[in-house]
Chain A
Amino acid sequence: MMEDLSLHIMDIVTNSVRAGAKHILIAIEKDEKRSMMRLEVSDDGHGMDAETAMKVQDPFFSTKKGRKVGLGVPLLKGTAETTGGSFTLDSTKGRGTSIVATFDSQHPDLPPLGNIRDTFFVLVVGHPEIDFDLRYRVDGKDFSLDTAEWRKELDGIPLNHPEVIGFLSKYLDEHL
């Protein structure tokens, strides 16, 4: 259903947003020596109790009133586990949720990374009130962006101001 990892990330982070997160870490790292790809999404949202944390990993769990967390979690878990990787979800009610997925970067069924640049771009601009800590370390690229620092520099100008949108777009093109 999800063509690539960048869309998986988009979907997983949307859960963090819905959980009221103010700070979200997204880290994508490839360890060439161990042929491992690692993805982490950690937030300070309202978190889940143990039972709910189990349920959101099950694709067949839903309440008619609507599942608050979409299919993104079971989809990512499925992708990780069928490509020789692992999936863990740690959540504490009132503290936040942390998801770590690993993939065998040599596995033939591993989806491509996709457009990480666009995922970062729309997440930051679409949620100007959230601090995003973005890290990308793949194939010699070492990129990091902490929007809390940008916010400090901007002193009240929102991250979705047209001027900032243009700057962010160019910044990502240049550095990522």
Chain B
Amino acid sequence: MNLEELKKIREKAQKDVELRQKQARIRIVVGMGTSGIAAGARDVLKTFVEEVGKRNLTDVIVTQTGEKGLASQEPMVEVFEEDKPVVVYGNMDPEKAKRVVVEHVVNGQPVSEFAI
């Protein structure tokens, strides 16, 4: 594992980067305020990031934001998708995050039981 490998990644990834920069198809935003972090938001964020990496979802961006103002439902996650209403998920954990990736992000079906 060394930095030489970054060069290989650069060559490999060059193609889909332009596409991705133009417009990500889906944006996953994890609330990372103090209460979110205390409730486990870091592990939720990590799960989303790892799934996107593993599944090579080059048109999906995972990012984070501050307090969501609904501390009782932390960790909270918003999924923004082109031309669709935003879906807000509450009380998330890594297992739920995996389901959101499979069902919502990959297959286009929001997981209504986690939505708030």
Residues of chain A whose beta carbon lies under 8 Å from any beta carbon of chain B: 1-3, 7, 10-11, 14, 18, 66, 70-72, 75, 118-119, 121-122, 125-127, 149-150, 153-158, 160-167, 169-171, 174-175
Contacts and interface: CB of A to CB of B under 8 A. Distances in A.
Contact of B38 (A7, A119, A170): A7
25 contacts: A2-B38, A3-B38, A7-B42, A11-B37, A14-B33, A14-B37, A121-B46, A122-B46, A125-B62, A150-B6, A153-B6, A155-B10, A157-B9, A158-B17, A158-B20, A161-B9, A161-B13, A162-B52, A162-B56, A162-B58, A163-B13, A163-B56, A167-B1, A167-B6, A169-B53
Interface residues of B, number: 38
B3 A165 contact: no
Contacts of B67: 66, 70
Nearest to A66: B67
Nearest to A151: B6
Contact of B62 (A1, A3, A126, A155): A126
Nearest to B5: A167
B111 interface: no
B7 A153 contact: yes
Nearest to A119: B42
A12 B33 CA distance: 10
A59 B75 CA distance: 22
Contacts of A150: 3, 6
A2 B37 CA distance: 8
Interface in B32-77: 32-34, 37-38, 42-43, 45-46, 49-50, 52-58, 61-64, 66-67
B5, B37, B50, B58: residue with the most chain A Cβ atoms closer than 10 Å: B37
B11 to A, nearest CB: 9
B14 interface: yes
B115 to A, nearest CB: 23
A157 B37 contact: no
B12 interface: yes
A10 B44 CA distance: 13
B38 A118 contact: no
Given A149-B3, A171-B1, A175-B1, A161 B20 contact: yes
A149 B34 CA distance: 30
A14 B35 CA distance: 12
A14 B13 CA distance: 29
B37 A153 contact: no
A71 B12 CA distance: 42
Contacts of A158: 17, 20-21
